[in-house]
């Protein structure tokens, strides 16, 4: 079943991703990012782990998230307000700017459980390997709109997996991440979040 999900979402997302981020101007994005830097940092390396890093993230993924915040498909009180006044061009420019920045690495914790879930999943529960989509080095895939995880704060990855598990975050195509997160235990979430962060 997961196999079908992967193929189905790959096709539809490849179209979305490129359309959303098309024509972005990183130089214009830098100026537009002034109002974002308080939380996400001047260069997209957020100063505190309660805010996600945006540096080095795929433009296609950033643009999709900003469109989803704007339409409330992804509902977050702060970001929905921030995205409300952004035009399509603003979104493309901001996404191009952050994608060009360099993410600062995180140490993470090389736990055996985290590595196992990331690289092999958990066959007994039908959890697929994260690496199948997010890549062996956590670099994601810009065309399929699979986000970068390497270097992201572990606490943000963990919060996000909890949000998918509870359904609080529901903008994942074909419920891919909600299905996967619902099969992760508390220990597995914490371990894989640390592991992916440190890749
Ligand atoms: C007051 C703080 C604040 C400001 C200002 C802010 N953000 Fe955010 N942003 C957040 C928080 C908090 C989240 C995480 C929401 C969640 O937990 O789902 C977030 C998430 C995001 C995400 C999703 C990242 C991911 O990995 O899923 C993007 C993209 C983003 N913000 C872009 C922007 C842009 C562009 C601006 C400026 C126009 C901006 N933000 C301004 C707090 C802020
Ligand atoms: C079938 C492909 C697939 C697999 C397998 C997969 N993911 Fe994802 N993941 C996605 C997609 C697609 C998104 C982006 C959803 C969206 O567009 O909002 C995502 C988003 C995420 C995010 C949100 C990132 C952010 O910055 O907001 C996290 C965290 C995440 N995945 C962690 C994991 C972990 C941990 C595993 C393994 C347990 C995993 N994923 C397995 C496809 C996958």
Averaged pLDDT, 4-21: 54
Give the tokens for residue 89.
């061009």
**Does the beta carbon of 171 lie inside 6 Å of ligand 2?**
yes
pLDDT tens profile 157-187: 999 999 999 999 999 999 999 999 999 999 9
> Which domains does the chain carry?
15-100 (1.10.760.10), 112-197 (1.10.760.10)
Gap from CA of 130 to ligand 2 centroid (Å) = 7
Gap from CA of 147 to ligand 2 centroid (Å) = 7
Please determine, for residue 16, whether its predicted confidence score (pLDDT) is greater than 80: no
pLDDT of res. 1 = 46
Does residue 23 sit in helix, strand or coil?
coil
Gap from CA of 161 to ligand 2 centroid (Å) = 9
* Residue 65 Cα: closest atom of ligand 2: 18
Query: Which residue has the least CA distance to atom 18 on ligand 1?
Result: 76
pTM assigned to the model: 0.93
pLDDT tens profile 98-140: 999 999 999 988 889 999 999 999 999 999 999 999 999 999 9
d(CA 132, CA 142): 14
Nearest one of 101, 91, 99 to 57, comparing CA atoms = 99
**Does the beta carbon of 91 lie inside 6 Å of ligand 2?**
no
The residue that leads in pLDDT, 144 or 4, is 144
d(CA 24, CA 85): 17
């Amino acid at each position: 079943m997961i196999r079908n999900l992967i193929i189905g979402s790959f096709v539809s997302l490849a179209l979305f991703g490129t359309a959303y981020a098309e024509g972005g101007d990183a130089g214009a994005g830098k100026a537009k990012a002034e109002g974002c830097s308080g939380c996400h940092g001047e260069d997209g390396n957020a100063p505190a782990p309660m805010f996600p890093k945006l540096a080095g993230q795929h433009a296609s993924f950033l643009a999709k998230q900003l469109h989803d915040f704007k339409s409330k498909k992804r509902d977050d009180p702060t970001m929905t307000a921030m995205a409300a006044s952004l035009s399509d061009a603003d979104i493309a420019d901001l996404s191009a700017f952050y994608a060009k920045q360099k993410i600062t690495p995180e140490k993470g914790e090389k736990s055996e459980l985290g590595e196992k879930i990331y690289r092999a999943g958990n066959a007994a529960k039908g959890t697929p390997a994260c690496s199948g989509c997010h890549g062996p080095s956590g670099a994601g895939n810009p065309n399929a709109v699979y986000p970068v995880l390497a270097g992201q704060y572990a606490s943000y990855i963990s919060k996000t997996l909890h949000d998918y598990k509870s359904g609080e975050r529901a903008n994942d195509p074909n419920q891919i991440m909600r299905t996967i997160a619902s099969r992760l235990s508390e220990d597995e979430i914490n371990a894989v979040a640390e592991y992916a962060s440190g890749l």
